[in-house]
Structure 1
Amino acid sequence: MDAAAAAPRILANHRGVAFDLVRAIGSVECVVALEALEAYFWLEPGASDARTLKCFGDGYQRITAIAARKALAHPAATIELTSSDFARGR
């Protein structure tokens, strides 16, 4: 992971993992929903925070690639990734 970015963190409501997408023009806060990690990154339901962050780290390259594409297509202050963002053909 990029050393300049803040460490990924579990949302207070435990519905996702927040992370910073660092780009040449600045950083954007992103959130990947836990349901997406469960559906596409083999996170088991009810997993611990440590396991959730490990799963996020394992899928980091794919997650950030999709976040970057979404940020280019739909610029926003916060990018939210759901299962539909990881579906084939998107």
Structure 2
Amino acid sequence: MEKPEFEPQILASRQGVSFRLVRGQTLVECVITTAALEAHFWLEDRADDLRILRTFRDGYSRIRAIAERKLLAHPGARVELTPDDFGRH
């Protein structure tokens, strides 16, 4: 299983998990919403922090692949992944 390059963090609002990708010499800030984790990674509603991070780590390879594709299609300083991003693939 692939591990995140930097430790993921749950957003203060608990609406997502932030993580970073390395693209060349640049760090790209990324967020996957908890709605996406619930819809496509079987995260239960109102999960605790430990379960949210475990679900993120378990799905990291797929999450990273989608984040990288989105970054290639829309270069920028930040990527936000929502349920729609996973529904198309």
Compute the TM-score of the two structures, normalised by the length of structure 1.
0.91
Task: Determine helix, strand or coil for the equivalent of 2:52.
Answer: helix
One-letter code aligned to 2:21: L
User: How far did 1:33 drift?
Assistant: 0.3
Q: How far apart are 1:23 and its partner, in Å?
A: 2.2
Aligned to 1:32: 32
Q: For structure 1, which runs of at least 5 residues remain unmatched after alignment? A: none
Look up the SS of the partner of 1:57 in the other structure.
helix
Of the structure 1 ranges 59-68 and 19-28, higher mean CA displacement relative to structure 2 is found in 19-28
| 1:6 CA displacement | 2.2
What is the CA-CA distance between 1:22 and the residue it aligns to?
Answer: 1.4
Q: How does 1:57-72 map to 2 (within 5 A)?
A: 57-72=57-72
SS in 2 for 1:54: helix
Query: Once the two structures are aligned, what percentage of the paired residues are identical?
Result: 55
Which sits farther off after the overlay, 50-59 or 22-31?
Answer: 22-31
TM-score by length of 2: 0.92
Aligned residue for 2:80, secondary structure, equals strand
For 1:35, the aligned partner's letter is A
With 34-43 and 18-27 compared, the bigger mean Cα shift is at: 18-27
Q: Aligned-pair RMSD on alpha carbons?
A: 1.1
Q: Which residue of 1 aligns with 2:8?
A: 8
Tell me how far apart the structure 2 counterparts of residues 22 and 63 of structure 1 sit (CA, whole Å). Answer: 14
Any gaps of 5 or more consecutive residues in structure 2? none
Alignment of 1:64-83 (within 5 A): 64-83=64-83
State how far apart, in whole Å, the 2-side matches of 1:45 and 1:17 are. Answer: 15
Q: What residue number does 2:51 align with?
A: 51
Whichever residue aligns with residue 57 of structure 1, its letter is: R
